[in-house]
Chains A and B, each alone.
Chain A
Amino acid sequence: MSMRTRVLLAACLSAVTGFVALPAVAAEGKPNLGGVWLVEKPQAELKTTAGKAPPFKPEAARVYAKRKQAKASGGKSADDPDPAAALCLPHGVPRLLNEAQPIQILQKPKQVTVLYQANHQSRQFYIDDPIPAADSLPDPNYDGYSSAKWDGNALVVSTYSLNALTWMDDVGMPHGEKLTVVERYELAGTDTLRVKLTLTDPETFTAPWDAQLTYKRQPNLRLKEDACAEKLWHPPSSASGSG
C-alpha cells in the first residue's frame, strides 16, 4: 500500500469514525510513534528497570526520604511544596513522562513534539540537532532542551540544561542541574511504546541508572484541557464585571 493510499485511507476512517487510524510507518520510513498514548503503570516512585531504588548519594537519599515521609503523612510541606502538584509548575523531565494523563506524539521528519495533557505542557525534540558543548549550554529550565536522533527503529532523545527545581517523581526524588536524561522510544508492536531512560547526575547518584516505562496506544482518546492553575486561583466569569 502506497503512502498516499495510507493517508487517504486514514482520512476516510477519520471521516467515518471521528478518529484517525495511523499507519505503522511514517512518511519518512521511520516507525510511526504518532498518536495518543497513556503510560501503563505510572510509577509514583521511580525505580530502576530492575525495580530497585536508584543509587543515591547520601544527601539525596536523605532529601528523598524526608519528602516521601511528608507525602505519606498527607501533609503539604510549606517550605518544600510539590512543585508540579501544589504550584502547577512544569513537571520537568523525567517526571513528566510518568503522569497518569495521556500524551500525544506529533511526529514530523525534522521535529518530534510531545503534547502532555498534564498542565498543558509540551516538549520539542529537534532531530539531529547537535548538543552544545558543556561550556556553552543554555541556562537551565524546567524541561531542558532536547536533541533527538533515530538509531535504527528507536528515537533517542537527549535532554540537558534541566533546572533543579523539579522532582524526578511524584514523591520527591531530588536532582541537580547536571542531570541529563536519555530517552529511547521504541515500538513493541503497533500499540505498545517502550521508553528506556538513562539518568545521569553525578551530584545525586553514584552511577548512571536505567528506568523503563511502557505506554499503550489510545486510539479512542483525545487530550482534554487540564487547567491546573485553578488550584491556585479560580477565575470568576469575566462577563460579570459590571454586575
Chain B
Amino acid sequence: MRRVERFAAAGSVGLIFLAFAVASPAQNAKPAAGPPKPDPASMTSSDPHDIDGVWWTPGYDRKYRTVEGELPPFTERGRKDWEHNVAADKAGEPVADAPTGCLPHGIPRLLASPYPIQIITTPGQMTWVHEVNRNQRWIYMDEKQPANPPKTYLGHSVGHWEGDTLVIDTIGLNDKTRIDEEGITHSDQLHVVEHIRKIEGGKALESLITITDPVMFTKPWTTKRIYRARPDVRLMEYACEENNRNAPENGVTKAK
C-alpha cells in the first residue's frame, strides 16, 4: 500500500537534502533509481488561467473548519453525526468511510488529501488526477450542471473562469463519504463550490471551498486549502487495494 511510503518520503526529504549537502564531492552517492525528474527551475506559467502542472498541499490537516477557524454551522443532525464520529475515533474504533475501503474520497474530503495532484487542461475539460487512491475529477468547462446527475463519490463538476478565479461547481455527490477525515458528515444534497486562484506569483493555489447541505448545516460555510506548485514531483502509482491494512471490519477502521 502506497500511503505509508509517501508520508515517509515527505518526512525524510529534509534529511536526505542535508545528507547530500554535507557529503563531499569525492563521495560517490548513488543516484536514486527511477526516471529523471523535471527541472524544478521551470516554474508554472505566468498566465493566471494556466494552472496545469503538479500541485501538493503542504502538511496534512484532517479537519475542515471555517476560514475563521470555527466549527461549521451544524444542524442538530450534523452536530450529532460529528460528535458520534469524534467519540468513536477517541474510543479507538473509528467509523469506516468510503476511502478506508479504497473507494473515492468524495468532495470536499479529497481536496485536503496530502498527496500530489496533477491538473491537465484539454479543450472543454479540466482533469484533476489525484495520486491518492487514483481519484480522478473531470471538470467540464463552460457548461451548465445537468438537472439530475447520478449520485457518485466524486459527483459531477462544471467549471468556469470569473476574472482570474476558477470556479468549480460540484453536485451529484452520494452520502457515502464525509466532509473531512475527522468526522463531519454530509447528505446527498451536498453542493460544493471551489474558488481557485493563483497566489504568491503563481507558486501556489488558494482554494476557497464553500459547502452547502441543508440536512447537516444551517447555512453555507467556507473553508480553505493551499496547494504549492511542485514541478519537481511526478505522480506515483497508488494501489490502496494491495494489503489494505485499514480495510473496514464490521464498519470500523482498524489499523492492522
Contact = CB atoms under 8 A, between A and B. Distances in A.
Contacts of A233: 96, 101, 103, 247-248
Q: How large is the interface on B (under 10, 10 to 19, 20 to 34, 35 or more residues)?
A: 35 or more
B235 interface: yes
Interface stretch (B7-15, B127-135, B202-210): B127-135
Given A18-B143, A107-B122, A238-B175, 18 more contacts: A14-B141, A89-B241, A104-B127, A106-B122, A115-B136, A126-B234, A138-B35, A143-B237, A223-B136, A224-B152, A232-B241, A233-B247, A237-B175, A238-B186, A239-B215, A241-B85, A241-B183, A242-B81
A13 to B, nearest CB: 9
A233 B244 CA distance: 12
A126 to B, nearest CB: 7
24 contacts: A11-B124, A15-B142, A34-B123, A88-B102, A120-B104, A124-B235, A132-B34, A132-B35, A136-B31, A137-B33, A138-B33, A138-B35, A223-B138, A227-B153, A230-B103, A232-B101, A232-B241, A233-B248, A235-B97, A235-B176, A238-B176, A238-B178, A239-B185, A241-B85
Nearest to A10: B123
Interface of B: 31, 33-36, 52, 77, 80-81, 83-85, 88, 95-98, 101-104, 118, 120, 122-125, 127, 129, 134-136, 138, 140-143, 152-154, 175-178, 183, 185-187, 215-216, 234-235, 237, 239-242, 247-248, 251
A99 B239 CA distance: 19
Interface in A63-107: 87-90, 104, 106-107
Contacts of B103: 227, 229-230, 233, 235
Interface in A129-152: 129-132, 136-139, 141-143, 145, 147
Contact of B124 (A20, A88, A113, A131): A20
A22 interface: yes
Contact of A139 (B33, B104, B120, B176): B33
A36 to B, nearest CB: 10
Interface of A: 7, 10-11, 14-15, 18-20, 22, 34, 87-90, 104, 106-108, 113, 115, 119-122, 124, 126, 129-132, 136-139, 141-143, 145, 147, 222-225, 227, 229-230, 232-233, 235-239, 241-242
A241 B178 CA distance: 11
B33 A229 contact: no
B98 A235 contact: yes
A225 B154 contact: yes
B87 to A, nearest CB: 10
Contacts of A131: 35
Contacts of A107: 122
B40 to A, nearest CB: 15
B186 A89 contact: no
A232 B102 contact: yes
Most chain B C-beta atoms within 10 Å of own C-beta, residue among A7, A11, A124, A222:
A124
Contact of B134 (A119, A138, A141, A238): A119
A120 B136 contact: yes
Nearest to B144: A18
Contacts of A239: 77, 81, 175, 185-187, 215-216
